[in-house]
Amino acid sequence: MDTYRAFLAIVLSFAILLGYQFFFGGLETPPVQPPAVQTAEPQAAPVAEPAVAPVPPPPPATYAPQRTGRDIPVETTLFRAVLSESGGTVKSFQLKQFKESNEENSNPKELITTSGAELPLGFGWGSALPADLPLVYTASTDALQATGDSPAELSMTASLPSGLAITRRYGFDPQSYLFTLAVEVRNNGSVPLQGAPALALTSLPFSPGEGSGYIFTGAAALVNGSLEEVKPQDLADDGPRVFSGTINWAAYEGNYFMTGVVPETGEGTNVRFSAEAEKTTTLLSAPADTLNPGESRLYTYRVYFGPKKVDTLKATGYELDRIVNFGWFDLLAKPVLLILNFLYKYVGNYGIAIILVTVLFKLLFWPISQKGMKSMKNMQKVQPKMAKIREKYKDDPTRMNQEVMNLYKTYKVNPLGGCLPMLLQIPVFFALYKVLLQAIELRHAPFMLWITDLAAPDRLPIGFDLPYLGGIPVLTLLMGASMFLQQKMTPTAADPAQAKVMLFLPVIFTFLFLNFASGLVLYWFVNNLLSIGQQYLVNRQTST
């Protein structure tokens, strides 16, 4: 087997994998229709009648707001939020420790990208509270602060002509992105009322253009212990998806941030995902309840609006860290992220941590890389003899193969020796690739000089914008040059045309890496430099 063809196959595999991620992203579980939730879809399963006497429907809602709802500012150590009395929803949620952009005067990161009736955490209960009802609550305070050591609570109340009274209680922990929402529904009327609780979360991408590319953005839920992720485009094309069973949490996620809801009792809860273009709606619903006059029900949710940081999510609990999904390489990628964060604690710079991780993995694979390089060098030595054998026995393929195998045995050459070391390193490379592409730790993390964001493409400003590029991709060009030098030092194939194709690969990789995160380019550049040094040592050893 020609080692250069094997290497080309590896490169093509790399391109195919990236293309697969870009065009397909992942597989979703076929939709599961819940048996006990009534929906407006034609084939939805019928609702099971409760084992109680028939309950008359509530009177038609004639509620009309008498005033405009106030905005209630809420501040904790980690975020600033604005709750609206109109609907009792969340109007704004800004993360203090994260910025919108890497500009010095950038605003804190805003997670609420919808408006009006589509603000998150809208609550409904049966036909007594239709989704478009302009319900205005009365808040218990004009503002709320939870910046000390003690939690703080805000309550909102509203009543309907049917006799249904709703009280929403928000509870905030000063040191957590997780807050509670407890909704009490009470029947203050004279007739029984029946309804099913539903909590809505409508979301748009957290940043412009975030829904494109090979990073998943969309609806996610942990259902029966399995992570389900559905793209908005799939929902828009194929219709809503419904999951039932044990719902640990349901969320909307981007590359670095998420907004999610944890129902108090996941069993018997259903989650329904729907979308219009990029707008995704998540609806958590539970079985219907009947409230006799004077009775009440309490529905409790925990809400997480914050970063997709593994350590933070693990500390929060509820298996929220499962949303950080590195795909096929998840088992390798998470230990890589752990090592990266461990090194960062000591060096204080993620760029240096990436260099140290690269050196660490290079040392780990040094022995097998050494064998592969020596095998390629030995293959180069026997190329002239192989060419003579092929020419001599070109009309007798069987004899030619026998002579080639004898040649391998005589010179102790393994035709797979140059391929296997590369194949062993492929999973580790892709694991590191996924980490550097998705880890929030690298977002706005500076390295040195002009590289101020390891999650952004490498660009050196020159006072004016270059077409397509903006600035000069210095690190990317250095990476391409190092790859070209590495190719020149690597044993070449006997076929000149094939050798020219291999020398063209650095150009392809340079264009491929132009818009990759500079952290990934840094890894590849340092890895090339280490490979050049290793190849130099091998060339010296085999030439003596």
Q: Is the pLDDT of residue 276 over 50?
A: yes
CA distance 17 to 20: 5
CA distance 483 to 371: 20
Q: Burial letters for 292-328: b for 16+ Cβ neighbours within 10 Å, e otherwise?
A: eeeeebebebbbbbbbbbbebbeebebebbbbbbbbe
Q: Is the pLDDT of residue 129 over 70?
A: no
Q: How many C-alpha atoms does 413 have within 13 Å on its Cβ side?
A: 23
CA distance 304 to 271: 17
Q: Averaged over 117-121, what is the pLDDT?
A: 87
CA distance 255 to 527: 26
* 11-15, 71-75, 352-356, range with the lowest pLDDT: 11-15
Q: Is the pLDDT of residue 281 over 70?
A: yes
* Burial category of 56 from C-beta neighbours within 10 Å (exposed 0-12, middle 13-18, buried 19 and up): exposed
pLDDT tens by residue, 185-243: 999 988 998 888 989 999 998 887 675 556 788 999 999 989 999 988 888 888 899 99
CA distance 484 to 521: 15
Grade residue 422 by pLDDT with cuts at 50, 70 and 90.
low
| pLDDT on residue 536 | 78
CA distance 507 to 452: 25
Cβ neighbour number for residue 140 with a 10 Å cutoff: 15
Q: Is the pLDDT of residue 261 over 90?
A: yes
What's the pTM?
Answer: 0.79
| pLDDT on residue 28 | 35
Grade residue 298 by pLDDT with cuts at 50, 70 and 90.
very high
| pLDDT on residue 465 | 73
Do strands 289-291 and 279-285 pair parallel, antiparallel, or not at all (unpaired)?
unpaired
Percent of residues in the chain assigned helix, strand, coil, to nearest 5: 40, 25, 35
Query: CA torsion 465→471→477→479, rounded to 10°?
Result: -150
pLDDT tens by residue, 386-401: 777 777 777 777 777 7
* DSSP state at residue 460: B
* DSSP state at residue 423: H
User: How remote is the C-alpha of 535 from its chain's centroid?
Assistant: 37
Which string of DSSP letters, residue by residue, matches 136-192? Answer: B-EES-S-EEE-SSS-EEEEEEEE-TTSEEEEEEEEE-TT-SEEEEEEEEEE-SSS-
Q: Is the pLDDT of residue 531 over 70?
A: yes
CA distance 179 to 94: 14
Residues 340/439, Cβ–Cβ less than 8 Å: yes
Higher pLDDT, 490 or 456: 456
| pLDDT on residue 132 | 52
Residues 429/437, Cβ–Cβ less than 8 Å: no
Residues 102/453, Cβ–Cβ less than 8 Å: yes
Q: Averaged over 138-164, what is the pLDDT?
A: 89
Q: Is the pLDDT of residue 48 over 50?
A: no
* Helix, coil or strand: residue 516: coil
pLDDT tens by residue, 21-47: 433 333 333 333 333 433 333 333 333
| pLDDT on residue 160 | 85
User: How remote is the C-alpha of 104 from its chain's centroid?
Assistant: 26
526: tokens are: 């340092």
Q: Is the pLDDT of residue 19 over 60?
A: no
CA nearest neighbour of 371 among 416, 408, 405, 404: 416
Residues 320/260, Cβ–Cβ less than 8 Å: yes
